[in-house]
């Protein structure tokens, strides 16, 4: 914290201290006789001031000298540190943190890019996972996902030129099930950016049309980048559907620090569906494959049975980049419908 930072933090204390010291200086100068020497009131209060003692004169002079000295030093320090470090641009801050980095070098640009990316966070992220239907060909769920992410630049004075956004989807290779499920095994429907301009929310569609996934194309990634002004935010909205094999979980990955995350699971089928949500804290890319093979990771598992036309919400705060939420879907595939389920269906149809 610089000098001006200390002044702002302890401003009232410094002001009161200066005022008290100045008042004491005035009293000494009036007592010594340098101020208002002919005042009868002060003469009655302090006695004869025409011949002050040498001690009193020296004391008053020393006090005045100290007061002027600290005032001049304070003004000089204030001028020197008038520039607030927190308002320095990122390249200047990098030169403070890494003094041996040459300005304009490839390393300086790399550090600036990496540090700028850390200042772009999700204030909150909502995912709506709709279980649309269950295939009768042997254990496949049709899942419709919708996401709503609020992305904010937390810098106070630095524009992030390249905020990287990535929306991707991958479907399971369901070779041999094409006749039952159809050629299309998944579809990316929406990828939109919403931003506030002149008090109006503007929608920018990144994806024109839709992207179909199937045996011809099992995955798709849609990268995009935008610029973000200091302390401003945008909204990223995505949606898509896919057929999910009951024996293969789906994964939802966090790409940047997220203050709060919410998953809403909605069952649109006529059967009870068990949802198993596992939160995985993965620190490095190479650990992901280890987890997928061996299940080794710090995790928190939640199981919930969702009845037809019901909803379950799973919430978590402070997700780190590269954290993963794994979702498994289970249902009573081979069991006949229960009496309660039949009653629910009858009531729904009525």
pLDDT, position 41: 79
Strand partners, 131: 143, 267
Residues in Cβ contact with 101 at an 8 Å cutoff, skipping those fewer than 6 apart: 94, 95, 107, 108, 111
DSSP assignment of 74-141 equals HHHHHHHT-S-GGGS-HHHHHHHH-TTSPTTSHHHHHHHHHHHHHTEEEEEEEEEEEEEEEETTTTEE
pLDDT score at 340: 43
In whole angstroms, what is the distance from residue 258 CA to residue 278 CA?
A: 17
Cα–Cα dist 251/266, whole Å: 17
pLDDT band at 138 (very low <50, low <70, confident <90, very high): low
Q: Alpha helix locations (H) across 212-276?
A: none
The pLDDT of 160-181, averaged and rounded, is 74
State pLDDT tens for residues 15-33.
787 788 888 878 877 877 7
Look at residues 336, 303, 271 and name the one whose alpha carbon lies nearest to residue 134.
Answer: 271
Give the dihedral of Cα atoms 41, 43, 45, 49; nearest 10 deg. 150
The tokens of 332 are what? 């009573």
Q: Give the residue from 286, 294, 280, 289 showing the smallest Cα distance to 328.
A: 280
pLDDT at 27: 81
Angstrom distance (rounded) from CA 303 to CA 309: 18
Residues 299-348 have pLDDT tens digits of: 568 889 999 999 999 888 888 887 888 899 988 754 445 434 444 444 44
Q: What integer pLDDT is reported at residue 84 of this predicted model? A: 67
Mean pLDDT along residues 210-223? 86
Given a cut of 90, is residue 71 above it in pLDDT?
A: no
Closest CA to 193 of 146, 236, 240: 236
Can you tell me the distance from the alpha carbon of 241 to that of 133, in angstroms, rounded to the nearest whole number? 11
Q: Residue 277: CB partners within 8 Å, gap ≥ 6? A: 263, 301, 302, 303, 304, 314, 325, 326, 327
Say which residue the tokens 């600036």 belong to: 112
Residue 67's pLDDT band, with cuts at 50, 70 and 90, is: confident
Q: At residue 9, does pLDDT exceed 70? A: no
Q: What does DSSP say about strands 298-306 and 250-253: parallel, antiparallel, or unpaired?
A: unpaired
- Provide, rounded to the nearest whole percent, the portion of the chain with pLDDT above 70: 80
Q: In 3-state terms, what secondary structure has residue 142?
A: strand
| pLDDT at residue 61 is higher than 90 | no
DSSP-based three-state secondary structure for 52 = coil
Taking each helix axis as running N to C, give the angle between helix 106-118 and helix 90-97, from 0 to 180 degrees, rounded to the nearest 10.
110
What domains, with CATH codes, occur in the chain? 3-83 (no CATH), 90-118 (no CATH), 119-349 (2.60.40)
> What was the pLDDT predicted at 1?
52
Q: What is the mean pLDDT of the chain?
A: 79
Phi, psi of 344 (to 5 degrees): -60, -45
Residue that wins the pLDDT comparison between 7 and 219: 219
Residues in the chain: 350
């Amino acid at each position: 914290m610089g000098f001006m930072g200390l002044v702002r933090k302890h401003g009232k204390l410094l002001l009161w201290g200066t005022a008290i010291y100045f008042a004491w200086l005035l009293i000494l100068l009036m007592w010594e006789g340098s101020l208002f020497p002919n005042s009868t009131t002060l003469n009655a209060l302090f006695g004869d001031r025409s011949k002050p003692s040498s001690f009193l004169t020296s004391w008053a002079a020393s006090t005045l000298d100290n007061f002027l000295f600290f005032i001049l030093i304070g003004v000089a320090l204030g001028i020197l540190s008038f520039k607030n470090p927190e308002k320095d641009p990122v390249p200047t801050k990098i030169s403070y943190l890494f003094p041996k980095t040459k300005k304009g070098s490839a390393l300086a640009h790399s550090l600036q890019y990496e540090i700028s990316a850390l200042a772009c966070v999700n204030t909150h992220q909502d995912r709506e996972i709709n279980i649309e239907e269950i295939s009768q060909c042997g254990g496949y769920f049709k899942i419709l996902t919708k996401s709503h992410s609020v992305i904010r630049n937390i810098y106070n004075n630095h524009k992030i030129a390249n905020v990287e956004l990535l929306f991707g989807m991958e479907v399971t290779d369901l070779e041999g099930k094409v006749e039952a499920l159809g050629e299309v095994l998944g579809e990316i429907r929406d990828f939109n950016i919403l931003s506030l301009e002149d008090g109006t929310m503007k929608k920018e569609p990144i994806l024109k049309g839709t992207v179909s996934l199937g045996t011809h194309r099992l995955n798709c990634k849609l990268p995009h980048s935008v610029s973000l002004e200091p302390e401003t935010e945008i909204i990223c909205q995505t949606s898509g559907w896919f057929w999910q094999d009951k024996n293969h979980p789906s994964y939802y990955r966090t790409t940047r620090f997220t203050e709060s995350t919410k998953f809403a699971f909605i069952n649109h089928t006529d059967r009870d569906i068990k949802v198993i949500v596992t939160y995985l804290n993965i620190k490095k890319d190479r650990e992901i494959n280890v987890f997928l093979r061996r299940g080794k990771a710090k995790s928190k598992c939640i199981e919930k049975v969702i009845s037809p036309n019901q909803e379950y919400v799973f919430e978590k705060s402070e997700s780190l980049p590269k954290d993963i939420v794994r979702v498994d879907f289970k249902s009573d595939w081979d069991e006949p419908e229960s009496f309660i389920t039949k009653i629910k269906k009858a009531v729904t149809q009525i």
